[in-house]
Amino acid sequence: MGSRCAKGFRVRRPRARAVRSPMRSAAHAWANSWTGMAMKSTISLTKRSTRLKLPNMERVSPPRVMAGSRRVWDRQAHYNIKSQGLPAGGLRRDLSSSLRCGRGAGLGAGGEVCAPFELPARICYNLKGEDVLPPRDPPSGGGQMFANRYALLTGGSSGMGKALAHLLVRRGAHVGLIARNPERLEQARQELLAEATAGQTVETFQADVRDFQAVQAVVAAVEGRGQPIDFLFNVAGFARPGYFHELPLEVFRDQMETNYFGTVHTTYAVVPYMMARRRGHIVNFSSMGGLVAVFGYTAYCPSKFAVRGFSEALRSELKPYGIGVSVVYPPDTDTPGFAVENQTKPFETRYISGSAGLMKPEEVAEAVLRGVERGRILIIPSLASRLLYIGTNLLGAATHLVMDLLVRRAQAAKARSQPSGGSGA
Does the annotation mark 300 as catalytic? yes
Which of 125, 260, 300, 351 is labelled catalytic?
300
Distances (CA, A) of 375 to 72, 137, 232, 366, 368: 17, 5, 15, 14, 11
CB-count exposure of residue 49 (10 Å: 0-12, 13-18, 19+): exposed
Geometric angle at alpha carbon 106, from 374 and 52, rounded to 5°: 70
Is 33 catalytic? The answer is no
User: What three-state secondary structure class fits 133?
Assistant: coil
Q: Which of 260, 287, 303, 304 is catalytic?
A: 304
For 49-70, the DSSP string reads: H-EEE---EEE-SSSEEEETTE
Cβ atoms of 104 and 75 closer than 8 Å: yes
Show the DSSP H helices in 225-299 as ranges. Answer: 249-255, 262-277
Q: How far apart are CA 248 and CA 245, in angstroms?
A: 8
Q: Considering only CA atoms, which of 213, 317, 231 is closest in space to residue 269?
A: 213
CA distance 49 to 10: 48
Task: Tell me how long the chain is.
Answer: 425
Q: Report cis status (omega within 30 of 0) of the bond before 134.
A: yes
How far CA 283 is from CA of 216, 368, 379, in Å, comes to 18, 9, 9
Cα-Cα-Cα-Cα torsion 298, 304, 310, 314, nearest 10 degrees, comes to: -170
The enclosing H or E element of 284 equals: strand 280-285
Please state, as a whole number, how many other Cβ atoms lie within 10 Å of the Cβ of residue 8.
6
Considering the candidates 158, 286, 303, 353, report the single residue annotated as catalytic. Answer: 286
Triad 123, 313, 250: Cα angle to 5° = 145
What residues are annotated to the active site?
286, 300, 304
